[in-house]
Amino acid sequence: MDNNTATAPRARIAIVSPDGEVANELTLSLERAGYQITEPKDGPADIGLVDLRNKRVTAKQAKSIAALLRHKSPESSIFFLIHPTLNTPARTALKRYGETIPARNNFDHVVERCRQILRLRNVADEAGERMKTLATLNRLFEFPSIATSAKPINVLIAGPPSPTALATISATAKTAGKYVSVLSAGQALRAIDTGQFDCAIFLPSPKDSPLHSVTRAIRRHPKYAGLPIIHVAEDEQNLQQLAKYGASEFILQQHVPHDLSARIQLNGRRARLLRSMRTFLRACTGDGVRDKASHAFTPAFLAEHGARLSARADHSGRPLTVVFIQLTCDNEDTTIHERMVLHRAAYLINRITRAEDLTARIAPDAFIVLCPATTKADAGKLALRIEGVIANTVFRGRDRHSLHAIEAVTTICTRIPGAAIEEAVACAIKAARCIRGTTPLQQSPR
């Protein structure tokens, strides 16, 4: 893998404080995660973070701050950092204008929450841009509708019995159509595998509890990664430890009776919408839209949708990263066996990439992956995953006794602001040729 890219932040976060003082610990935590700290006057931000810890702010003042952030950054999400002991009426008032996150001196859980909401925004942005491109194409196309079910939310509750568990069950019963309570990690995995849940709640458990491993396993599973898990924390000190386990949605146990019901409803509906958008991104097809052999997009669609993504990147200031993938079979034979192997490898690449990425096949052995709002480091992880999966897979030709190994070599290039998508793709291909001295690409599969 080779990187040929400029440095760009993952996202821009505007931090606002009523007294004008921003905590250094908060700034350092966000900068270590790759985010750029800005002020509202500096231009549009991806997230607006309002620090209200140990500050007395009325609902009217909070509304004014939120209105200022909305005016400067209409597309941004707004988070209110609050003291864990803030009373219920004040929390309810703040939730009208944004999401509340309890915090004191540790901010790892704040970083995880920002990462989660940015991922949701990226999927929603790509779904909107993809629909615009399909609507303007002068071709026949098909795609599933983006819709959510109005059925009641199904909830899984996992954790040991305790007064907090009873409070959680009571709050869940107010809004869930069906809820299942389990005690152990094994029961939780079995319930998730056999049932259809829109939300899960993990109760406080010891540090060595297997439930923490379940959180990581679900986050890495392609089928259940979209399941929102609300972790109930005993206190604010426990939030940092939960963030290390991969948790991104939190609630303090003293807030369970008043806040959990609304949180379940919000996360369940949001998960259904996210699942519907991902289905749309994976399934949209049509005449000249996807390559039939690999299910990757065609060069024609890459050119049309890539131009829209480039314009979107220039407008928002977010990076657009191009990953070029070159496949090499273990033999020089260009028979039907090798073509079949390349088709299967191409289909595998299309499955590895994220739903919000656009994977296009520009030649039988070459692919382009467009990664909107993705930095060099994140695109590098995607490229390494593709190389690793392809290298550790044995492909069969038409003859079952014919086994093939394929090597995938990737090159990463960040699009320069203002450049056309063709220039960014050419930059990635040129970098790959300089590294390997490859021959010109094979003829496009169109």
Q: What is the tens place of the pLDDT at every residue in 182-205?
A: 999 999 999 998 888 999 999 998
Does 129 fall in a domain? no
Write out pLDDT tens, residues 255-289. Answer: 999 999 999 999 999 999 999 999 999 888 777 78
**Among 254, 283, 312, residue at a domain's last position:** 283
Are 184 and 58 part of one and the same domain?
Answer: no
Radius of gyration of the chain (CA): 24
Q: What is the pTM of this model?
A: 0.88
Q: Tell me which of 283, 306, 334 is where a domain ends.
A: 283
| 295 CB neighbour count, 10 Å cutoff | 18
57 and 164 fall within a common domain: no
Residue 178 shares a structural domain with residue 307: no
| pLDDT at res. 158 | 95
312 and 408, same domain (yes or no): yes
Question: Which CATH number do you get for residue 424?
Answer: 3.30.70.270
Residue 363: strand, helix, or coil: strand
Residue-level pLDDT at 441: 53
- Does residue 139 lie in a domain region? no
CA distance 174 to 190: 25
Whether 134 maps to a domain, the answer reads no
Q: Are residues 275 and 326 in the same domain?
A: no
**How many other CB atoms are found less than 10 A from the CB of residue 14?**
25
Token match 């079995």: residue?
190
Q: Report whether pLDDT(9) > 90.
A: no
Tokens representing 426 are 């050419």
Asked whether residue 444 carries a pLDDT value surpassing 60, the answer given is no
Residue 5, pLDDT above cutoff 60: no
Q: Scanning the structure block, which residue is given the tokens 């992880």?
A: 381
Q: Is residue 419 part of a domain?
A: yes
- The larger pLDDT score, comparing residue 206 to residue 439, is at 206
- pLDDT the model gives residue 207: 83
Note whether residue 120 is domain-resident. no
Give me the helices (H) in 137-285, please: 163-173, 185-194, 211-220, 237-244, 256-283
Same domain, 149 and 263: yes
Residue partners of 204: CB distance under 8 A and separation at least 6:
159, 162, 164, 232, 233, 234, 238, 253
| First-to-last C-alpha distance (Å) of the chain | 27
Distance CA 366, CA 445 (A): 10
The pLDDT of 110-123, averaged and rounded, is 93
Is 94 part of any domain?
yes
Q: Is the pLDDT of residue 144 over 90?
A: no
Q: What is the DSSP string of 297-340?
A: BPHHHHHHHHHHHHHHHHHH---EEEEEEEEEESSS--SHHHHH
Give me the mean pLDDT over the 165-176 stretch: 94
pLDDT band per the 50, 70, 90 thresholds, residue 437: low
Residue 86 and residue 150 in one domain:
no
| 266 secondary structure, DSSP code | H
Tokens of 402: 């014919």
Sign of CA dihedral 42, 47, 48, 54: negative
pLDDT at 18 (0 to 100): 84
Q: How many C-beta neighbours within 10 Å does residue 428 have? A: 25
In angstroms, rounded to a whole number, what is the distance separating the alpha carbons of residues 327 and 409? 7
Question: Does residue 148 belong to any structural domain of this protein?
Answer: yes
Q: Is residue 277 part of a domain?
A: yes
Q: Are residues 295 and 275 in the same domain?
A: no
For 174-183, the pLDDT digits (tens) are 999 899 999 9
Residue 440 above 50 pLDDT?
no
CATH number for the domain including 24? 3.40.50.2300
Number of folded domains that form the chain: 3
Residue 443 has pLDDT above 50, yes or no: no
User: Could you tell me if 329 and 419 lie in one domain?
Assistant: yes
pLDDT at 292: 80
Angle (CA) 108-170-147 rounded to 5° is 70
Per-residue pLDDT tens over the stretch 45-70: 999 999 998 888 788 888 898 898 98
pLDDT at 171 over 70: yes
Q: CA separation (Å) from 258 to 93, 269, 272, 301, 384?
A: 13, 19, 24, 49, 45
Same domain membership, residue 164 and residue 224 = yes
Count H helices, E strands: the chain?
A: 13, 19
Q: Is the pLDDT of residue 396 over 90?
A: no
Instruction: For the chain, give the percent of residues with pLDDT over 90.
Output: 52
Helix (H, G, I), strand (E, B) or coil at 280: helix
Cβ 125 vs Cβ 372: under 8 Å: yes
Q: Residue 172: which domain range? A: 144-283
Please check whether residues 261 and 386 belong to one and the same domain: no
Strand locations in 117-160 (E): 141-142, 153-158
Quick one: pLDDT at residue 386?
A: 94
Yes or no: say if 162 and 204 are a contact pair by the CB < 8 Å rule. yes
Give the domain-ending residue among 232, 251, 283: 283
pLDDT at residue number 376: 83
Q: What is the pLDDT of residues 404-432, one digit of tens each?
A: 888 899 999 999 999 999 999 999 998 88
pLDDT of residue 334: 47
- Cα torsion angle, 231, 234, 236, 237, sign: negative
3-state secondary structure 365-412: CEEEEEEECCCHHHHHHHHHHHHHHHHCCCEECCCCCCEECEEEEEEE
Nearest to 82 by CA among 50, 111, 53: 53
pLDDT at 2: 52
pLDDT (tens digit per residue) in 319-365: 999 999 998 876 655 454 567 788 888 888 888 899 899 999 998 88
Please report the pLDDT score of residue 37 as a whole number: 93
Q: Are residues 15 and 76 in the same domain?
A: yes
